[in-house]
Amino acid sequence: MSSLVIVGTQWGDEGKGKIVDLLASSADAVVRFQGGHNAGHTLVINSKTFKLSLLPSGIVRQKLSIIGNGVVVDPIHLEKEIGEITNQGIEVNTSNFVISSDCFLILPIHRYIDSLRENQKKGSKKIGTTGRGIGPAYEDKVSRRGIRFSDFKNLKELEEKFISIYNHHNVWIEKFEGKEISYLDDFEIILKCYQSLSKYIESTWLLLKQLNDKNKKILFEGAQGFYLDLDHGTYPYVTSSNTVPSNASTGSGANPKYLKKILGITKAYTTRVGNGPFPTEENNDIGEKLGKIGNEFGTVTGRKRRCGWLDILMLKKAITVSGINGLVLTKLDVLDSFKDIKICTSYKINNQIVKDYPSNISSYHHVIPIYETLKGWEEKTKGITKFEKLPLNAQNFVKRIETLVNCNIDIISTGPERDENIILNEAFN
């Protein structure tokens, strides 16, 4: 069997959705293994835009799409998203969509407390959460009071768990709001959603074993990006799950032996949504230009993304920790009009040159990026599908990245459409 893991190497928004869609054409199944509907994947197919947050990107190609146990699921949102994608002409049925019975649920109270907490923080203290209840849901999971789809087999015990969760969170809510939230209405709403979704729920670890035994190709789709990882990211400005590819096994039930290749997705520049360190950020006309050309607005939140130059230190750490053995370079065409293009190759911290990404960059107040400047190509690359057709300076830019990070670039995306790519090496082999 040949299986493949896709992981973002920055702070998310690297273009994973498009690449997953591209590679899904050769896959038999696509698996989500972490995060929730805070993820945002935008697919543009024949000028038609599909925006997904919970559904695996493979669903657009009608491939078997699996939500693994590591994903926290908001049943209300999932039901709505299925309805939306169905209205766009994409069929979702029991033959192409499966949810793990071990998935933990995001309840309405999780969303409420998420927003309430964030509103208590000010300025730079804000994490930049999407307010969708992801963090509180993972907290309940870790604290062993969470609710899984499998719990719906015993409604009496399920209701008792609802009461316990709501009692726990109401202590905090009452302190700040002077009121409590009743579980009753939410219990009925979630129960109704479960009845609608139950036909998709099964033991996905067993399904993955069956696929492996049949030598099927499985594509594991990471959400967010490496630097939003709870352990390896720019803590505390991170998400509440592990985004690294090693979690593909834990978050799906797939045997680690199934994971054969890991592709890292990186933009030709860098973006970030929300607060947190960003050494190469260009808070100026350059950043504005990158954002405007690249249409840098969050798929989920609509928030404007911060923009800056490509950071090699970030990329090298992501490659090393993730075990990445191939890269995908996206949004090359966004740089088409730049006379000069910069690549950050080191930092200056406390008057010392640093060539490896610091373990806790959030603790450094002054990080000065040191750049290598390359000549831009000032020619159109959008839609080019052959490497030799790229302007020479664009070719040099790609080759320089490969040299600096010691990793091959297998795919180059030259536009948002499904067919706007340069394939240098086949992902599945």
Place of tokens 């670890």: 205
Compute the distance between CA of residue 86 and CA of residue 181 in angstroms, rounded to an integer. Answer: 33
- Contacts of residue 122, Cβ cutoff 8 Å, sequence gap at least 6: none
Could you list the beta-strand ranges (E) of 120-235.
Answer: 201-202, 218-221
> E strand or H helix at 8, and its extent?
strand 3-8
Q: Which residue, among 47, 63, 88, 50, has the nearest Cα to 417 in the 3D structure?
A: 47
Q: Which of 37, 41, 77, 110 is catalytic?
A: 41
Q: Which of 13, 74, 186, 333 is catalytic?
A: 13
Per DSSP, the residues of 76-120 read: HHHHHHHHHHHHTT----TTTEEEETTPEEPPHHHHHHHHHHHHH
> E strand or H helix at 358, and its extent?
none
How many C-beta atoms lie closer than 10 Å to residue 179's C-beta? 9
Phi/psi for 350 (5° steps) reads 50, 45
Is 13 marked active-site?
yes
Residues with catalytic function: 13, 41
